[in-house]
Amino acid sequence: MSFYYNHAFCNNDMEQERIWLLLGRKVSGEATMAELRELEELLVQYPELRYQVSVLGNLPAPVVTPVWMEKTEQALEKHMVRLGNDLVTADFQDEHPAEHVARHRKSRAGVLVALSTLVVLLAGYCVFLLSSKTTQKVAAEIAEIQTRNGSRSRATLPDGTEVWLNGGSRITYQRDMNTQQKREVFLSGEAFFKVAKDADNPFVVKTRRMAVNVLGTAFNIKAYPNEEQSETSLISGSVEVVPADDQQHRVQLQPNQKFIIRHTQDGNARPSLGYSMEQVKMNGQDDLINETAWCDNVLVFDNENFGAIALKMERWFGVKVYLTDKKLKAYRFTGTFKNESLPQILEALKVTSSFRCEIKGNEVFINQ
């Protein structure tokens, strides 16, 4: 078992520039739904940048009022006088007076539009500079707990909430979350939470695909970026699940219910696949629940295909599994393993299906 704790910083310049661009489009009202989802996904990876979002989101959109237009017109007139009337006349000396006036107005309108745009850009840039000065301070308040493949971790958050992290998972949160009105945790991977009760300060877990709102309860979230579905399994208490791509679709879970969001293999949500509700599954072995058995170091395969099982074994043992034949991915297995080694599990799976495997260091090659 291993986990490490550090401060999370946004070191990817390209992604930071992308966030800034999306923020600008959001404030101007030009962002598409896909861009808004992309912005939310980036902010899940870099929660310390949410400060910029809150500041920029509260920036009022500039309104070109008659007073503003009048003052801008006056400033332009003064500027034209300083340039000299003869220069203006020289530019249009061959034009009909009506054409001259029309062109002059068109030019002035273009300048006014440009100035309006400049106001927006300067305001946004000032906000960016202001927030950039505080980024280091805000980032220093963001903590991270991460587990690598082959390990599982347990930790207690500042508010007293207990959390278990499965292999290849990460959570980030504010170090002073116990003093915040909303206790927010950002998750990538799988985690089990026992939330400390605090009715005045709700607890929220956010992933790329959903937000889970709770007061005090025990539940499991599975939301790996490279898997075809995300799951929230409620063990006790009550939670509300809100899909990230459908804010109006709010689902209240009761104990022993599981809410599933299916998405495409490339990680993009596809609402046409819909959502489903299932019951969590009792394992029958020591009163285990399949969805949370990993917290007790029990590895469970519940009629899962070999592709999904390969991912589980990679996270469980810290190896890389290669299925050399596409037909192998269709094989399905059911089994419960506690304290068995990787070779022992593979031998057990061979009992029901015919395949060969070879282990070379941290790599496993499986073929027919």
Query: How many C-alpha atoms does 366 have within 13 Å on its Cβ side?
Result: 25
Terminal-residue alpha carbon distance, the chain: 33
**One domain, residues 323 and 360:** yes
Residue 133 has pLDDT above 80, yes or no: no
The answer to whether residue 252 sits within a structural domain is yes
**One domain, residues 132 and 252:** no
The answer to whether residue 311 sits within a structural domain is yes
Q: Which domain holds residue 72?
A: 11-140
The answer to whether residue 111 sits within a structural domain is yes
Output DSSP code: residue 197: P
The answer to whether residue 288 sits within a structural domain is no
**One domain, residues 226 and 248:** yes
* Per-residue pLDDT reduced to its tens digit, 334-352: 999 999 999 999 999 999 8
Domain CATH number, residue 363: 3.55.50.30
**One domain, residues 62 and 149:** no
Confidence of residue 320 (pLDDT cuts 50, 70, 90): very high
Say if pTM beats, i.e. exceeds, 0.85: no
Boundary-marking domain end, from 118, 140, 162 = 140
Residue 291 has pLDDT above 90, yes or no: yes
**One domain, residues 337 and 302:** yes
**One domain, residues 17 and 135:** yes
**One domain, residues 125 and 163:** no
What is the DSSP annotation of 267-288? S-B-GGG-EEEEE--B-SSTT-
**One domain, residues 235 and 130:** no
Spatial distance between the Cα atoms of 358 and 52, rounded to a whole number of angstroms: 50
Residue 117 has pLDDT above 50, yes or no: no
Q: Which of 41-50, 129-138, 141-150, 219-228 has the weakest average pLDDT?
A: 129-138
pLDDT reported for residue 43: 73
Boundary-marking domain end, from 140, 160, 182 = 140
- Phi/psi at 345 (5° precision): -65, -45
pLDDT reported for residue 219: 96
What is the DSSP annotation of 40-99? HHHHHH-GGGHHHHHHHHTSPPP---HHHHHHHHHHHHHHHHHH-HHHHHHHHTTS-HHH
Spatial distance between the Cα atoms of 109 and 111, rounded to a whole number of angstroms: 5
**One domain, residues 89 and 21:** yes
Domain CATH number, residue 188: 2.60.120.1440
Helices (H), the chain: 13-28, 33-45, 50-57, 66-83, 85-92, 97-140, 306-317, 342-350
Chain-centroid distance, C-alpha 280: 25
Question: Which residue has better confidence, 45 or 25?
Answer: 25
CB neighbourhood size of 227 (10 A): 18
Confidence of residue 38 (pLDDT cuts 50, 70, 90): confident
The answer to whether residue 1 sits within a structural domain is no
The answer to whether residue 166 sits within a structural domain is yes
Q: Are 247 and 36 within 8 A, CB to CB?
A: no
pLDDT reported for residue 73: 61
- Phi/psi at 116 (5° precision): -60, -45
Confidence of residue 139 (pLDDT cuts 50, 70, 90): very low
The answer to whether residue 57 sits within a structural domain is yes
Nearest to 171 by CA among 162, 57, 79: 162
Query: How many C-alpha atoms does 111 have within 13 Å on its Cβ side?
Result: 15
Nearest to 220 by CA among 116, 130, 290, 167: 290
* Per-residue pLDDT reduced to its tens digit, 82-97: 555 544 444 444 445 5
Strand partners, 205: 185, 212
**One domain, residues 274 and 150:** yes
pLDDT reported for residue 322: 95
Q: Are 23 and 56 within 8 A, CB to CB?
A: yes
Q: Considering its fold, how many domains does the chain have in total?
A: 3
E strand map for 159-285: 162-165, 169-174, 183-194, 203-206, 210-214, 218-223, 229-236, 239-243, 251-253, 257-262, 275-279
Q: Are 305 and 287 within 8 A, CB to CB?
A: no
The answer to whether residue 238 sits within a structural domain is yes
Spatial distance between the Cα atoms of 269 and 209, rounded to a whole number of angstroms: 7
Distances (CA, A) of 193 to 190, 218, 246, 292: 10, 5, 24, 10
pLDDT reported for residue 138: 46
Q: Which residue in the block uniquely carries the two structure tokens 């282990």?
A: 359
